[in-house]
Amino acid sequence: MKTVAMVLFPDFLLLDMAGPMEVFSVANRYLKPDDHYQLITVGTEHGPLLASNGVRVLPDRHIDESSPDYDLLLVPGGPGAYNEKHPPLLTWLQDAVRRAERYGSICTGAFVLGHAGLLDGYRVTTHWNYLERLIRAFPLAQVESDRIYTEDRNLITSGGVTAGIDLALAVVAQDHGKKVAQDVAKVLLVVMKRQGGQAQFSPLMAAVAPHETPITRVQNFVLEHLDQAFTVQDMAALANMSARHFARVFLREVNMTPMEFLQRARVDQARNLLETTELPLKTVAYKSGFGSVRHMRILFAQKLGLTPAQYREQFS
């Protein structure tokens, strides 16, 4: 029997807890009793804890009363994960993960692990909307932006919210085989492997900084004229810089190359048109500056793991 412990704290996201725990619970229907998952909730406070949606949950144990010898130790996300540090929990986690077979986080629970010093040197992910914040907060972690979940040695982290279900299904598949995980996925009406990564659900391009600089002026001009062709030299001329100097400054200020920015902007423009209009793919490609449906399809496959037609079918 494997023990799965979910650590709870004030203002946690209830779905981050309930989704993965339901996966393990349903898996027990298909497993022999000796192979069952034992599910435990561990709280940072005595008594019920208030989730971010207002629901109160009474943990099975308090961290001071809990033996940390768990097979899998998970931390959910929520406002309490990225806005608070919970010092007693951080100290407890530092000891608990050394004694656990595996540990991980759901969504923004990665911030709790980060504050405990447990992400340094690992490949990790979190909700797409908090990726930049995670990168800034924990520069020694290798943050992957387009993953539903990421495994690195005994650490497993997931993207936003429902990606915790994907994480739990992956654990079940590793523990008991793909057939059991598929049976659980069917009961929960989810797919075992989603097309594309979590970037398909998120804007790919970071917002242009509000203060005006030569670089932000170029960004805004490009965004307003995406149907036009641009080279690095074209963009550098708009900033009155040499191409080499412009590329260096752009990378430093935007954390991506000029051409990466242009590609992401074109993909975002196309996504918006696919979601909100019924324009033919050829027109979408033209308005987004791809030049051809083929080029748009190639970029969509690289960035989203989907074709434009598949994206429209899923999100329009």
Domain boundary among 174, 200, 226: 200
Helix (H, G, I), strand (E, B) or coil at 60: coil
What would the mean pLDDT of 231-239 be, rounded to a whole number? 94
In this predicted structure, the answer to whether residue 14 has a pLDDT above a threshold of 90 is yes
Say what the pLDDT of residue 208 is: 66
- The pLDDT confidence band at residue 11, using thresholds 50, 70 and 90, is very high
In this predicted structure, the answer to whether residue 54 has a pLDDT above a threshold of 70 is yes
- The pLDDT confidence band at residue 163, using thresholds 50, 70 and 90, is confident
- Domain check: are 71 and 183 in the same one? yes
CATH number at residue 138: 3.40.50.880
Rounded Cα distance between 136 and 208, Å, is 17
- Domain check: are 84 and 232 in the same one? no
DSSP 235-265: HHHHTTS-HHHHHHHHHHHHSS-HHHHHHHH
Note if 107 is an active site residue: yes
- The pLDDT confidence band at residue 254, using thresholds 50, 70 and 90, is confident
Catalytic residue among 89, 107, 239, 273: 107
- Domain check: are 162 and 38 in the same one? yes
In this predicted structure, the answer to whether residue 191 has a pLDDT above a threshold of 80 is no
Residue 76's domain spans which residues?
A: 2-200
By CB neighbour count within 10 A (0-12 exposed, 13-18 middle, 19+ buried), where does 55 fall? exposed
Domain boundary among 153, 172, 200: 200
pLDDT, tens digit (0-9, with 9 covering 90-100), for 59-78: 999 998 866 679 999 999 99
Residue 208, in any domain of the structure? no
